[in-house]
Amino acid sequence: MKCLIIDDEPAARDILRTYIDDAQELILAGSCANALEARSWLENNDADLLFVDINMPKLSGLSFIKTLSDPPLIILTTAYSEHALDGFELGVIDYLLKPFSFERFLQAVDKAGKQSRQKRSNESPSVTIKADGKLFRVLIKNILCAESKGDYITLHTSDKMITFYSTLTRFLEECPVEDLIRVHRSWLVNLNNIDYVEGNMIRIKEKSIPIGSSYKDEFMERYR
């Protein structure tokens, strides 16, 4: 999940940066010193999760949340406990009372992750891929094929190629649908995006993909 920190205290921002860097499921997209700066940032950028301090100058964290028409997931961070109920009434994921430990931080992040996955399950099926320090959410329907070379996979989609560290077996386990099928020890394809099959070759767009002998029977059964 891409995160945005919103806190007027430099030390608090530094702690959150460290925690986010140590959490594999998170990537820091930005950091803002106040709510007005955050509003401007969100006009031009996207975030899946906001860490919002409550007591900030000009516009409090709670007031800031109320200004968002379609807010991302939100975790409140504050040194004051009296606003907890107000936060939960606004639909925040969790309420971290400063100073909070890394363990407590991860508990809140886990809640956010579960809600994010539940939300995505109601949308088009997708898979999240980490490559080059970035997180990509790829819709399954846009995957054309994937090629394995050593310990890396190059995923070909309708608009890009992404190379990342994984195996085809692990990647298939992480995908939420059965549209993807392995057709060779080095290749998998999306059944819905095949143009045609000729002999032992699959054609998808400009790519010709071999069908391995040990994979052919299962492939032909599912493709027909």
DSSP 3-state of 60: coil
Grade residue 121 by pLDDT with cuts at 50, 70 and 90.
low
CATH number at residue 158: 2.40.50.1020
User: pLDDT of 68-111, one tens digit each?
Assistant: 988 899 999 988 877 666 667 788 999 999 999 999 999 999 99
Judgement on whether residues 175 and 114 belong to the same structural domain of the protein: no
Which residue range(s) make up the domain with 190? 126-223
Helix 102-121 / helix 10-22 crossing angle, nearest 10 deg: 60
pLDDT at 174: 84
pLDDT at 118 over 80: no
Judgement on whether residues 114 and 141 belong to the same structural domain of the protein: no
**Placement of tokens 């990647």 in the chain:** 171
Average pLDDT, stretch 32-42? 95
Nearest 5°: phi and psi at 148? -100, 130
Q: Which has the closest alpha carbon to 192: 117, 139, 129, 153?
A: 139
* For the chain, percent of residues with pLDDT exceeding 70: 96
Separation of alpha carbons 52 and 8, rounded Å: 10
pLDDT at 126 over 90: no
pLDDT at 178: 81
pLDDT at 173 over 90: no
Judgement on whether residues 8 and 106 belong to the same structural domain of the protein: yes
Least confident piece of the model among 84-88, 123-127, 164-168, 197-201: 84-88
CATH number at residue 113: 3.40.50.2300
Least confident piece of the model among 6-20, 119-133, 209-223: 119-133
Write the Ramachandran bin of 132: left for phi over 0, alpha for psi from -120 to 50, otherwise beta. Answer: left
Average pLDDT, stretch 22-46? 94
Judgement on whether residues 6 and 51 belong to the same structural domain of the protein: yes
Q: Into how many domains does the chain fold?
A: 2
Residues whose CB falls within 8 Å of the CB of residue 50, separated by 6 or more in sequence, listed in order: 3, 4, 6, 38, 71, 72, 73, 74, 75
Separation of alpha carbons 9 and 20, rounded Å: 17
pLDDT at 80: 80
Judgement on whether residues 9 and 45 belong to the same structural domain of the protein: yes
Full-model pTM: 0.56
Average pLDDT, stretch 34-46? 94
CA atoms within 13 A on the CB side of 203: 7
Pick 124 or 26 by higher pLDDT: 26
Average pLDDT, stretch 38-53? 94
